[in-house]
Amino acid sequence: MVDVQLGIPFTIPIFGEAFISLNNPVAFATLDFCTQVRVKNERANHLELVLKSPALTRVLINLLRKEGLSGKFSIASQVMDQRESDFLATAALLYIVDPDRIEPEVPTIMSKLQDRDFITFARALTSLSGGFVVCRKGEGLVSLEGKMDAFVHVRLSGKHRGVKEALARFSKAFPELIGSFWHLMGHLVLDGGSAIREGNSEKMGKLLTLESDLLYSLGLADLNDLRRLSQLNPNYGGKIICSEAMSGAVILTPKETLSPPHYNRFKFSADGVKEIG
List pLDDT tens digits, range 11-36. 999 999 999 999 999 999 999 999 99
DSSP letter, residue 23: T
H-helix or E-strand spanning residue 204: helix 201-217
Q: What is the pLDDT of residues 38-97, one digit of tens each?
A: 988 888 777 888 889 999 999 999 998 888 888 888 888 888 777 789 999 999 999 988
Q: Is 209 in contact with 157 (CB distance < 8 Å)? A: no
* Number of neighbours of residue 256 by Cβ within 10 angstroms: 7
User: Would you state the pLDDT for residue 277?
Assistant: 67
φ, ψ for residue 260 (rounded to 5)?
A: -80, 165
CA separation for the pair 263, 48 (Å, rounded): 37
Closest CA to 62 of 23, 112, 20: 112
For residue 245, give Cα distances in angstroms to 115, 121, 257. 7, 11, 29
Q: Are 8 and 89 in contact (CB under 8 A)?
A: no
**Residue from 126, 98, 95 nearest 110 by CA:** 126
> Measured between alpha carbons, how far is 239 from 208 in angstroms, rounded to an integer?
5
CA dihedral 179, 181, 187, 189 (to 10 degrees): -120
Are residues 93 and 125 in contact, defined by beta-carbon separation less than 8 angstroms?
no
Mean pLDDT of 171-178: 93
Length in residues, the chain: 277
Per-residue pLDDT tens over the stretch 195-238: 999 999 999 999 999 999 999 999 998 888 888 888 777 889 99
In the chain, helix, strand, coil percent, each to 5? 45, 25, 30
pLDDT for position 130: 94
Average pLDDT of the segment spanning 152-171:
87
Asked whether the beta carbons of 25 and 136 are under 8 A apart, the reply is yes
Residue ranges and CATH numbers for the domains of the chain are 3-146 (3.30.230.10), 151-267 (3.30.70.890)
